Amino acid sequence: MKPVVVRTIKRADSNAIGTLGAVGVSTAHEALGRSGLMKPYLRPVWAGAQIAGPAVTVLAQPGDNWMIHVAVEQCQKGDVLVVGCTADNTDGMFGELLATALVARGVIGLIIDAGARDVKALKEMGFPVWSRAISAKGTVKAALGAVNIPVVCAGVNVVPGDVVVADDDGVVVVPNNLAVETAAKAQKRHDDEDGKRKRLAAGELSLDMYKMREGLAKAGLMYVDKPEDV
């Protein structure tokens, strides 16, 4: 890793971002072929937010938030800041002051593979954060990392400019070059689900709706009448 800040990144298509943010994480993840999902240990610090935006990335050292300060300057309106860490760490690398700075630049949320603090203030400000821990543990500003290089965050490789979608179900990353295609598929999927929901609510079985019975029989599923028959 070279200690470097990349000033110019190619942000994903804004229409695609809008669509992906509207359908949410689960649908976007399905549309992407079930990949790009961050590990489920990342949880929202407060519930209810749903965002999408291009990633500005940070690679930080454990217990050190120097590079987050550096990254603020590289952010634009609508961006999502994504912070990976060179080792597993739960220190509170991010809190109210940094959130204030990001809001001032129009950043709409933070994804951090480490801890966050000032939970109450973040909620009052309405600034959404997805983190692996909540911890008051303060951090030093001593070791360099990098800004806007590809970063692995919670199990996903995030390239600057990729679309980050986050809501109560988690965080998914759609690669920049697949954003438009994935948004279209996601929209279609979203529209289709409405019809399915109505049929299921009316009592139709998914076994029939998805025509699963034949496949199950072929795979060898047997029905018996009583426990003793097993």
| Number of residues near a copy of itself (by CB under 8 A) | 104
Out of 52, 55, 112, 149, which residue is the one contacting a copy of itself (CB under 8 A)? 149
| Member of 13, 14, 22, 105 binding a copy of itself (CB under 8 A) | 105
C-alpha to C-alpha distance for 23 and 12, rounded to whole angstroms? 17
Give the nearest distance from C-beta 126 to a copy of itself in angstroms.
14
Smallest separation (angstroms) from a copy of itself to the CB of 164: 13
> Which 56-75 residues touch a copy of itself, going by CB under 8 A?
59, 61-64, 66, 69-70, 72-73
- Using CB under 8 A, pick the residue from 18, 48, 76, 126 that binds a copy of itself: 48
Contact between 184 and a copy of itself per CB under 8 A: no
Report the chain's C-alpha Rg in angstroms: 21
d(CA 141, CA 149): 20
156 binds a copy of itself (CB under 8 A): yes
Q: What are phi and psi of 75, to 5 degrees?
A: -90, 150
Q: Does 188 bind a copy of itself (CB under 8 A)?
A: no
Which of 39-51 are b and which e, b meaning 16 or more Cβ less than 10 Å from the residue's Cβ?
eeebebbeeebbb
Directed axis angle between helix 14-23 and helix 179-201, to 10°? 20
Eight-class DSSP state of 52: E
**70: how many CB neighbours lie within 10 A of its CB?**
18
194 counts as binding a copy of itself under rule CB under 8 A: no
CB closer to a copy of itself out of 13 and 62: 62
Residue 91 as a binder of a copy of itself (CB under 8 A): the answer is yes
Query: In the bound complex, what is the minimum distance in angstroms from residue 53's beta carbon to a copy of itself?
Result: 18
Residue 214 near a copy of itself by CB under 8 A: no
Phi, psi angles (nearest 5°) of residue 171: -135, 130
